[in-house]
Amino acid sequence: MRVAHITDLHVEAPPHLSQLFSKRALGAVNLYLLGRSAHFTLRTVEALVDAVVRSEPALVVCTGDLTSTATPQEFERAAALLAPITDRFPFLVLPGNHDVYTSESLGRFQEHFGAWSNGGVYPYVAQHGGVDFVALDVSRPDFLSRGLTPRQQLDALEALLAGGTAPAIVLLHYPLRDRRGGPYGPFTRSLENSLELEAVLARHPRVVAVLHGHEHHGYRTVIPREGAPLHSLNPGAGGYAYLPERHRTAHFNLYDIAPTGAFEVERYAFDGAAFAPEVGGAYASGG
């Protein structure tokens, strides 16, 4: 089974003046006055969507940050850009911290993407090719960029994993580990109770991988536990502009997953015109 993994598109649309009386005002300054807006382009997202469609996956998963500041116009633009995917393939998605940027934006993600996220009820599980894909929502409005796995989701995840036998792949926005295998930080942009979530995953060997986003330079690592390794993979930002002088470009992953849970990874990189397999193999570029 071929599965495409995209994340961190950061689709932008300038906010209206009436939308700036919140944390979004600082975000707009960062984007449009300090230049962060140039880090992401719609052209890249269009090329990403085209490459995913041409790969003809059996499933597409998106691990959050479809938007930059969670305005209605950003969600509308993101939904339109992703329509060639959502119209053709099974699609699973969950929100990132930028999709719940402010408290007034809560519910907006479900308005536009609820059809592919179980109507906002988490954790949810979708079985494809004999594999359970389990999605969590760990993002919340926060003045910083911190996430949290609610106790209700932790308890439900424990029961869900205990109640099945199929290989499972967990989807969430935040990393649990950094690229060196240590706990992900800093605290200001990490998952606060990551160790509690790790403990749940460690008790269930049927979980074979965690797919995430949040960190824009992709990496893969292993989450420590007894027995078989628990792989953790982030393709990197799918909406990054092509900036080779800064060693920065967009990526997405393709996984070939067997019913046993064994999988192979192929990572695609944007060369300024189109996406192509990463030279040297997945993660050969180191970021």
Strands 168-171 and 131-135, how do they pair? parallel
Model pLDDT, residue 286: 85
Strands 131-135 and 124-128, how do they pair? antiparallel
- Judged against a pLDDT cut of 50, whether residue 16 lies above it is answered with no
Model pLDDT, residue 28: 47
The tens digit of pLDDT for each residue in 108-128 reads 999 999 999 999 999 999 999
Model pLDDT, residue 104: 77
Question: What are the domain boundaries of the chain?
Answer: 2-277
Average pLDDT for the chain: 92
What is the second-level CATH architecture of the domain 2-277?
4-Layer Sandwich (3.60)
- Judged against a pLDDT cut of 90, whether residue 273 lies above it is answered with yes
| CA-based torsion, 178, 183, 186, 189: positive or negative | positive
